[in-house]
């Protein structure tokens, strides 16, 4: 009961809601870009809309649509999306205690596991605040992302070349803002992040798009060894 009251209190936390709003704004902008790119490339409106509801994974969706627009088949597109989304398995372990223990909570909460919601939740110091941040950002991002995709898909080619708007920089900027506090406060996190970044940068010229993100998870081993030795 006390935990529920504390979680409810965070719903009215101006600072938390402000941060969630910024993340949602970035998500909506990129969602518009995704919907417009998919339809302008020749896909029917329902494809990006249904994909966003069912798959709900920005990088995987962009990659899958890229494969389809390049002439690849549905199986190749699905395989590409699954490869990029394997990183969420590690993310799920990181927020397993945040999502909840009930079957419905785990089922719905697992659908909200994204780079943004996990980073947003783990940036919170208090466990109750972490849970509130995860669910508020998860629900908000899901709603705004799908609304943005629908708007972009309906606009179609009217938006023109979406790359000229710099929409691809929205999410990285938001993620950087979320993780900076953790990097400042924890030397172990800084070392792990540096190792992961170095591995990802070194691998980028040699591996397909999306794989460097997976390889960056090797930084977690350094953090895990640090924790075990303490």
List per-residue pLDDT tens for the chain, 230 residues long: 444 455 444 555 777 788 788 888 888 888 888 888 888 878 888 988 998 998 888 777 877 787 777 777 777 777 767 776 776 777 777 787 888 777 888 888 888 888 788 887 887 777 888 888 889 989 999 999 999 999 988 887 666 665 665 555 555 665 566 567 667 777 777 888 888 888 888 988 887 665 776 677 777 776 655 554 54
Q: Report d(CA 120, CA 171) in Å as an integer.
A: 12
Q: What is the pLDDT of residue 20?
A: 82
**Which residue in 136, 130, 115, 124 sits closest to 30, CA to CA?**
115
Which pLDDT does position 160 carry in this prediction? 62
Per-residue confidence (pLDDT) for residue 150, from 0 to 100: 94
What ranges make up the beta strands (E) of 19-129? none
Q: Tell me what pLDDT residue 22 has.
A: 82
Q: What are phi and psi of 93, to 5 degrees?
A: -65, -35
- DSSP string covering 132-171: HHHHHHHHHHHHHHHHHHHHHHHHGGGG--GGGGTGGGHH
Give 217's DSSP letter.
G
Tell me if 122 sits within 8 A of 182, measured CB to CB.
Answer: yes
């Amino acid at each position: 009961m006390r935990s529920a009251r504390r979680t409810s209190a965070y719903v009215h936390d101006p600072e938390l809601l402000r941060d969630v709003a910024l993340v949602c704004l970035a998500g909506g902008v990129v969602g518009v870009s995704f919907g417009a790119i998919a339809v302008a490339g020749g896909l029917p409106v329902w494809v990006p809309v249904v994909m966003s509801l069912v798959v709900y994974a920005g990088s995987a969706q962009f990659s899958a649509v890229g494969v389809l627009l390049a002439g690849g088949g549905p199986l190749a597109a699905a395989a590409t999306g699954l490869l990029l989304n394997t990183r969420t398995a590690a993310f799920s372990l990181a927020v397993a205690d945040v999502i909840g223990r009930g079957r419905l909570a785990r089922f719905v909460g697992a659908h909200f596991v994204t780079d943004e919601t996990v980073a947003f939740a783990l940036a919170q110091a208090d466990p109750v605040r972490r849970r509130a941040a995860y669910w508020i950002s998860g629900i908000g991002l899901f709603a705004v992302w799908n609304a943005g995709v629908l708007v972009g898909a309906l606009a179609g080619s009217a938006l023109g070349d979406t790359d000229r708007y710099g929409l691809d920089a929205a999410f990285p900027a938001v993620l950087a803002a979320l993780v900076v506090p953790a990097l400042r406060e924890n030397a172990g996190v800084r070392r792990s992040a540096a190792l992961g970044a170095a591995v990802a940068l070194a691998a980028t010229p040699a591996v397909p798009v999306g794989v460097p993100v997976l390889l960056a998870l090797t930084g977690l081993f350094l953090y895990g060894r640090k924790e075990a030795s303490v």
